[in-house]
Amino acid sequence: MNVNTPSTNKPIAVAMSGGVDSSTVAAMLRRDGHTIVGMTMQLWNQRRLPELSGEGATGRCCSLDDVYDARYVAETLGIPYYVVNFEKRFEEQVIKPFIGEYLEGRTPIPCTLCNNFVKFDPFHELAEGLGADIVATGHYARIRRDEDSGRYLLMRAVDSSKDQTYFLWGLTQSQLAHTVFPLGEYTKPQVREIARSLGIPVAEKQDSQEICFVPNGDYASFIDAYFQEQGIPREATHGSVVDTEGRKLAEHCGVHHFTIGQRKGLGFAAGEPLYVIATKPAEQLVIVGRNPDLLRAELTARQANWIAVDHLAAPMRVAVKIRNKHEAAAATVYPMEDTSRFRVRFDEPQRAVTPGQAAVLFDGDEVVGGGWIE
């Protein structure tokens, strides 16, 4: 059963960012005769770190321009619209863990934290308070109900270049049961065409960036600015870049400036290409090595969430994505004694397995489950 198009007479709460995707969702549901309420989640106050918000800063979330756009779209559609304040929750559930992960030498995915702990649970709660059982968002993914198992399945979007399942693996059965992703069946060009045909004022608006609260994608500067706001001295994060033998090659201003597989910006010139292969935040060390040092055949993951299955009972053949732009690689996933963890063995070793990113397990287009790489 396809549940991407809702069958409900109750109002549907649409999470509206002011962008073309969520605006089109609102317009499509309105066109189909649903009663809808538009909401924009105010997540982050751009004025807090003003040094990051210079001219030309792009990819800003919750900017007044986006709220203006969302409000204008709602007005065009003739639907009730509200901005709701999730700033405190976003800081606690997304910003602080995001920074904490970097400081522990991992490379986090704030979008997944946001989906798991802000966009779905609290937003559902808010929507339910207003009498709306169903939440609609502009994510590119599909939800199906499997009649045999009774489970809600998360499937890749029809448009594989826009597919966002990598960020949605944490959704629970109850969240999936009360969510619709109307765009999952369409390609981005089709969505823009629908937006134009429905007269949406933001039909031609540029797509937003991935990490919405970090201007220009410069997360290291964001973390530096956040430290400054919190009164943490920058020197506290300074340390050394060393090779695999422990020889010091350069100094650096914080492990959060580095991610596994990174080649540029290491602070020194080497005869052969060197890459970050690990960070040791406790000693403020960044370890560099050659390309083969980056290959891993195995990983373990924690905080597993299972979607297609209730739990992992036996080893299973899957395709595993270890970052958003990664081509899913053939692997076998093994259960572990601690059922909140799992182990993946790739058929071929994979480059730059990065702690803090997610390992998302696919069976064809279906998301089997996922977890955080350890």
Partner 1 sequence: MSTRYYFDHNATTLVGDAVLEAYTAALRDVPGNASSIHHHGQLAKQKLEQGRRQVAALLHVSPKEIVFSSGGTESNNLALFGVAKAGCHVITTGIEHPAVLNPCARLEQCGVEVTRVAPQPDGIVAPDAIRAALRANTTLVSVMHANNETGVVQPVEEIARIAHEAGALLHVDGVQAVGKLAVDIPALGADLYSLSGHKLAAPKGVGALYVRQGLQLTPLLYGGHHERDRRAGTENVPAVVALGAAAQWWNENGAEERARLAALRDRLENAILSVNQDIHLNGNRHARVPNTSNIRFYGISGESMVIALDLKGFAVSSGSACSSGAVEPSHVLVAMGLNNEQARSSIRFSLGRTNTADEVDALVRATVESYWHLRRLSPAFDHER
Nearer to partner 1, 90 or 227 (CB): 90
Our CB check for partner 1 shows the closer of 42 and 209 to be 42
Query: Which strands sit side by side in the sheet containing 36-42, from one edge to the other?
Result: 81-85, 36-42, 12-15, 134-136, 179-180
CB of 346 to partner 1, least distance (A): 41
Report the alpha-carbon distance of residue 238 to residue 222 in Å, rounded. 16
Q: Which is nearer to partner 1, 130 or 297 (CB)?
A: 130
Question: How many chain residues are in contact with partner 1, going by CB under 8 A?
Answer: 22
Residue from 8, 58, 85, 149 touching partner 1 (CB under 8 A): that is 85
Catalytic position from the list 61, 62, 111, 212: 212
| 325: contact with partner 1 by CB under 8 A | no
Task: Specify whether the CB–CB gap between 263 and 273 falls below 8 A.
Answer: yes
Angle of the 219-230 helix axis to the 96-103 helix axis, nearest 10: 110
Task: Tell me the closest approach of the beta carbon of residue 256 to partner 1, in angstroms.
Answer: 29
Asked if 214 and 59 count as a contact pair (C-beta separation under 8 A), the reply is: yes
Calpha distance 231→235 (Å, rounded): 12
Judged by CB under 8 A, the chain residues 24 through 83 that form the site for partner 1 are: 37, 40, 42, 45, 62, 64, 67, 71, 80, 82-83
> Do residues 241 and 265 touch, judged by C-beta distance below 8 A?
no
- CB contact at 8 A, 357 and 107: yes
Q: Which of 105, 41, 100, 40 is nearest to 74 (CA)?
A: 40
Smallest distance, Å, CB 119 to partner 1?
A: 15
Nearer to partner 1, 124 or 326 (CB): 124
- Examine the residue annotation and report whether 253 is marked as an active-site residue of this protein: no
Minimum Å distance from CB 177 to partner 1? Answer: 16
Output 3 or 74, the one with its CB closest to partner 1: 74
CB atoms within 10 A of CB 58: 10
Contact assessment for residue 40 and residue 18, using Cβ atoms and an 8 Å cutoff: yes
**Catalytic-residue membership of 114:** yes
Nearest-approach distance from CB 39 to partner 1, in angstroms: 8
- Near partner 1 by CB under 8 A: residue from 33, 88, 235, 337: 88
Q: Write down the catalytic residue from 61, 62, 111, 114.
A: 114
**Of 2-10, 129-137, 300-308, 330-338: span binding partner 1 (CB under 8 A):** 129-137
Q: Which of 87, 104, 243, 365 binds partner 1 (CB under 8 A)?
A: 87
Nearer to partner 1, 114 or 331 (CB): 114
CB of 84 to partner 1, least distance (A): 6
User: Which is closer to partner 1, CB of 128 or CB of 243?
Assistant: 128
Q: Please, which residues have CB within 8 angstroms of residue 55's CB and are 6 or more apart in sequence? A: none
Give 317-355 as a 3 state SS string: EEEEECCCCCCCEEEEEEECCCCCCEEEEEEEEEECCCE
Q: Which helix (H) or strand (E) holds 221?
A: helix 219-230
Residue 242: strand, helix, or coil? strand
Indicate the helix (H) or strand (E) that contains 127: helix 121-129
Q: Does 133 bind partner 1 (CB under 8 A)?
A: no
Catalytic center residues: 114, 212
Residue ranges in contact with partner 1 by CB under 8 A: 11, 37, 40, 42, 45, 62, 64, 67, 71, 80, 82-85, 87-88, 125-126, 128-131
